[in-house]
Amino acid sequence: MSSKVSPEHPAGETGNIFNIQRFSIEDGPGIRTTLFMKGCPLRCVWCHNPEGLEAAPQLMWFDVRCIGARDCLGACPVGALQLTAEGMLIDREACDACGKCADACPAGALEVVGRRYTPTEALDEVMRDEAFYRNSGGGVTVSGGEPSMQRRFVERFLSMAKEAGLHTALDTSGYSPPGVLTRLLEHADMVLLDLKLMDPDRHRELTGVELGPVLDSARLVGTGDRPLWIRTPVIPGCTDSDENIAALASFIGEELASARRWDLLAFNNTCGSKYRRLDLEWKLEGRPLIEAARMERLADIARCSGVKEVVWSGATRRES
């Protein structure tokens, strides 16, 4: 897949999307299509979409698909690939994710993650499932990464989706300049907001950014009539203490009047291979899943917020 921007669409009017997820039932009401925008200013240690962190397209190598054909090596114009006994070495300084190696590979072992779409192209994709949205009360969700990093595309896309009669949702980390968030909210029927930690030091340590701007965004989206769904990843040793969930519950109960639902998402440890494909370190290797009883207990604490619907989901381990 080529990552080049076609000449008639300057980069500012296109969006770099790393996944278009059809038939999603977790990113808002009904059946939805979710656009995952590439690029995030946070670096949550538990992030299960590492391919969405960098704003630029990136090359990924799938070891299980590689048949050693070596066609990719000659196809690379800058000599960025070496196939060794340890696997494919990608010189990421030299690689500009042109995709020529991926085109040459007969086994599909190389892929460029991230593709540019115009708002019209993205909407055309989304409209393929219009009948499902209509019948289920669904629509389209723009997620990431952090969508506000591609403000121009997302604003244009959401406004076009609304003009087309779709229900629109914005899924944000909250780490977004208030002016940008306000502009995107004009075209969003609802908001999904990640709230992770209430301790400022732990927030900085585990996400790489300050807590203050996230809480400011929460207050911005937490008032008025627009429905708000909160999402909290429950990560063992990071966000899963009673104290953290209780502190989040107090903040949500006291300050976020538009919160309609709070999802607690149990830790998912299946993303290690994605980190390896990008030459990144998966820092939570070997960390166990959470027990179901523990998720129940945290959900009970979360219910103290007064949010009408508190739901937990995800894989859990058997009690020891």
* 279 contributes a contact to ligand SF4 by CB under 6 A: no
Nearer to ligand SF4, 93 or 201 (CB): 93
Burial of 135 (0-12, 13-18, 19+ CB in 10 A): exposed
Nearer to ligand SF4, 78 or 293 (CB): 78
Question: What value, to the nearest 5°, has the Cα angle with vertex 38 and ends 36 and 41?
Answer: 115
Residues 6+ apart with CB under 8 A from 86: none
Please pick, from the candidates 5, 13, 21, 100, the single residue that binds ligand SF4 as defined by CB under 6 A. 100
Nearer to ligand SF4, 72 or 166 (CB): 72
* 197 contributes a contact to ligand SF4 by CB under 6 A: no
> What tokens appear for 313 in the block?
């989901």
Nearest-CA neighbor of 221 among 199, 265, 264, 252? 252
* 73 contributes a contact to ligand SF4 by CB under 6 A: no
* 21 contributes a contact to ligand SF4 by CB under 6 A: no
Q: Minimum distance between the CB of residue 105 and ligand SF4, rounded to whole angstroms? A: 9
* 47 contributes a contact to ligand SF4 by CB under 6 A: yes
What count of other Cβ atoms lies within 10 Å of the Cβ of residue 24?
Answer: 17
Q: Minimum distance between the CB of residue 80 and ligand SF4, rounded to whole angstroms? A: 4
The residue type of 289 is L
β-pair partners for 116: 16
Give the binding range for ligand SF4 (CB under 6 A) out of 49-57, 147-155, 276-284, 307-315. Answer: 49-57
* 80 contributes a contact to ligand SF4 by CB under 6 A: yes
Q: Minimum distance between the CB of residue 77 and ligand SF4, rounded to whole angstroms? A: 6
Question: What value, to the nearest 5°, has the Cα angle with vertex 296 and ends 292 and 298?
Answer: 115
* 39 contributes a contact to ligand SF4 by CB under 6 A: no
Cβ atoms of 102 and 1 closer than 8 Å:
yes
Binding-site string for ligand SF4 from residue 140 to residue 179, where x marks contact by CB under 6 A and - marks none: ----xxx--------------------------x------
Q: What's 11-62 look like in SS3?
A: HHHCEEEEEEEEEECCCCCCCEEEEEECCCCCCCCCCCCHHHCCCCCEEEEC
**How far apart, in Å, are the Cα atoms of 169 and each of 51, 55, 151, 260?**
22, 21, 15, 14
* 4 contributes a contact to ligand SF4 by CB under 6 A: no
99 torsion bin: left (phi>0), alpha (psi -120 to 50), beta (else): left
Binding-site string for ligand SF4 from residue 231 to residue 260, where x marks contact by CB under 6 A and - marks none: ------------------------------
Give the binding range for ligand SF4 (CB under 6 A) out of 21-29, 47-55, 114-122, 151-159. Answer: 47-55
Residues engaged in binding ligand SF4 (CB under 6 A)? 40, 42-44, 47, 49, 52-53, 59, 75-76, 78, 80-81, 95-101, 144-146, 173, 194
